[in-house]
A and B are shown apart, each in its own frame.
Chain A
Amino acid sequence: MAENRNVVLSAKDIEVKFRVRDNYLTAIRGVSLDLYEGETFAIVGESGSGKSVFTKTFTGMLESNGTISNGSVMFHGKDLTKLKTDKDWEGIRGAKISTIFQDPMTSLNPIRTIGSQITEVIEKHQGISKAEAKKQAIEMMERVGIVNAANRFDEYPFQYSGGMRQRIVIAIALACHPEILICDEPTTALDVTIQAQILQLIRDLQKELGFTTLYITHDLGVVANVADRVGVMYGGQIIEFGTVEEIFFESCHPYTWALLSSLPQLGIKGQDLYYITGTPPSLYNKIKGDAFAPRNEHALKIDFEQEPPFFKVSDTHYAKTWLLDPRAPRLERPEVIQDLHAKIKKMTDKGGAFHVE
């Protein structure tokens, strides 16, 4: 189904290196991704897996010691990796591709009014008058659910609650009607009840304005809520991607299994929760074979020697694991995540622990 839709952004074989003292660290090791128009794609992974770094290449926001050492990001026929100065990025960053960051307190300027921070973006990108910009800004504030927007226009960030601040950040990001909205852990700093509202808001706005959303998160619950397609990142690579149903119900990579298995929602009281032993690989050294092999109890001999290619599971589902090679032994998914849908259904149906009337 995804095949006949338009690709808005296409990243090919991206490699990103950081210079740290006299050493080079390879944070992204050859990642490709096609974003389809209007879809919601979620990248999941632990901290340090490279999920933020990867998407920063779409907006030229890598830290100054980082370089894209290979690959291309095609957007409207332009290779974004070739853009260097802030001037080159004008008209793309913030205008066509916007980002919402994790902590709304640090992305807003504490000593300027909410209103001036929204109008600044509108004036800069659309070149319109102050009065007109103010009108648009108030409209945008109403759209993201700020009650009494005209009166709150001249207030400061500290007068807003965490959830409201994140709504303002969303208003700023959407002020120029971008084609792509990157949400980098947009709800991690928020309470669960506010999280549900913000996710719903982003989804409603997406339906209304028709942009493409790229989520970055470590929370699989959020992924299940928002995503059409999912990519799982580990050690600077996407190791499995597919539709959200394929990733939750038919995952093939042992790392995806491990991530799903360690969810506290699936924990049984009195028993230990499943957890991944060991630590993520050091990105200073060249990684041989499958990056997850040292932590994988089912690792095959070849996992330590040769990097697996992507194996096709379905037209939309690919996984980078030797387990899918015809010569590999057949392994069942861990028991905790077998029949996941039936289990969760039981929990949320009448009589289940998470049932709500």
Chain B
Amino acid sequence: MSNNNNREVIVSVKHVDITFDAGTKKAFKAVKDANFDIYKGETFALVGESGSGKTTLGRAILRINPCSAGEITFEGKRISGKISREEDRNVVRCIQMIFQDPAASLNERATIEYCVSEGLYNFHLYKDEADRIAKVDRALQDVGLLPEHKSRYPHEFSGGQRQRVGIARAMIMEPKFIVADEPISALDVSIRAQVLNLMNKLKAEKDLTYLFIAHDLSVVRFISDRIAVIHLGEIVEIAESETLFEYPLHPYTISLLSAVPMPDPLIEKNRKHVVYDPSVLDQSGAPREMREVRPGHFVHCTEKEFAEYQAKASRMEKEKKG
């Protein structure tokens, strides 16, 4: 990507297809030709509705869902398909996940100490018991919990605290890359803010890279550096966060943007919600691909639409300046 040439790529998704029940009559392509890079140190957001394939793609990076075409690389090495056992272990350790529902993702019959140490046990990442406990204590402190919480069970915590435990068990592995799948959707408004702040803090302290999967553009705007919008398995637009909000081009992005509820009754009651209508797209059957409309701003379009989007973007830019 032109203006990002000097940045280090940590994860690269190259023309990836993900098909469920491949080879059978039921074959269903959940992700089609996903192609993007994630740079070290950034928060890359994947935004879309349920069923758009955003979680499937996140899981493919974690090696849970196999790719049926294309490949995924991590730090320059291919991690999709068959790889050696050693490499597999390395990926499992370096790429961690934060789940949506902290109540469902923690073992309710295990103490917090066990929940957080599980990764350490699996990978023998501690010298002795004292070292393990020191690591657990540090991980809990990092996420704003106290060492004495170790002996408690998940049900004794509030939703926000449970999500902190979920984050602590990811952090204790000292990952480089984190896939956060709707980490705040199940939380209350006031707790959402806490978890978002915490994720930002940890990112800065530990030099992390996030793939942040969400459906809510208002949250994504606050947390991400770049955003990819995905619809029915296809990425339709990728841009830097500010650019996407300033110059939304694909009609689906515009529809998503118009659906964000604004906390102002005078404005919200008159706000127009744009329903996405795919028939406005070029129906000529011309090939569609990701095309760079402005530097770093890619839209999935045909040649004809590409010209329209370019004209629209420069008109919007002029209006902004004038």
Contact = CB atoms under 8 A, between A and B. Distances in A.
Are A and B a genuine interacting pair, yes or no? yes
Interface of A: 46-47, 162, 191-197, 200, 218-225, 227, 244-245, 248, 258-260, 262-267, 269, 272-276, 279-280, 340-341, 344-345, 347-348, 350-351, 353-354, 356-357
A340 B263 contact: yes
B275 A193 contact: yes
Contact of B190 (A272, A275, A354, A357): A275
Contacts of B197: 272-273, 275
Contacts of A274: 193
Contacts of B254: 356-357
A224 B265 contact: yes
Contacts of B200: 272
Contact of A191 (B215, B262, B268): B215
A263 B241 CA distance: 18
B273 interface: yes
B258 interface: yes
A178 B247 CA distance: 45
7 contacts: A46-B190, A224-B263, A224-B267, A245-B266, A275-B190, A345-B264, A350-B319
A345 B267 CA distance: 7
Nearest to A228: B265
A195 B194 CA distance: 25
Interface in B45-63: 49-50
A225 to B, nearest CB: 5
A123 to B, nearest CB: 34
Interface string B158-192: 11000000000000000000000000000011111
Given A264-B218, A272-B200, A354 B189 contact: no
Contacts of B275: 193, 197
Interface string B254-291: 11111111111111110111111000000000000000
B133 interface: no
A276 B248 CA distance: 33
Given A273-B196, A275-B190, A353-B221, A193 B267 contact: no
Contact of B189 (A46, A345, A348): A46
A267 B190 contact: no
State the 9 A-B residue pairs at the shortest beta-carbon distance, nearest first.
Answer: A221-B261, A275-B193, A344-B264, A273-B193, A267-B222, A191-B49, A224-B268, A353-B245, A276-B190
B221 to A, nearest CB: 6
B69 interface: no
Nearest to A248: B265
A307 B105 CA distance: 39
A197 B260 CA distance: 12
B30 interface: no
Given A46-B189, A197-B275, A264-B222, A192 B256 contact: yes
Interface string B189-207: 1111110110010000000
B158, B191, B242, B262, most chain A CB atoms within 10 A: B262
A58 B303 CA distance: 59
B190 A221 contact: no
Nearest to A342: B264
Interface string B214-255: 011111011000000000000000000110011010000011
A222 B261 contact: yes
Contacts of B219: 264
Contacts of A264: 192-193, 196, 216, 218-219, 221-222
Contacts of B49: 191-194
A89 to B, nearest CB: 31
Nearest to B216: A192
A249 to B, nearest CB: 8
B320 interface: yes
Given A220-B189, A264-B196, A274-B193, A47 B264 contact: no
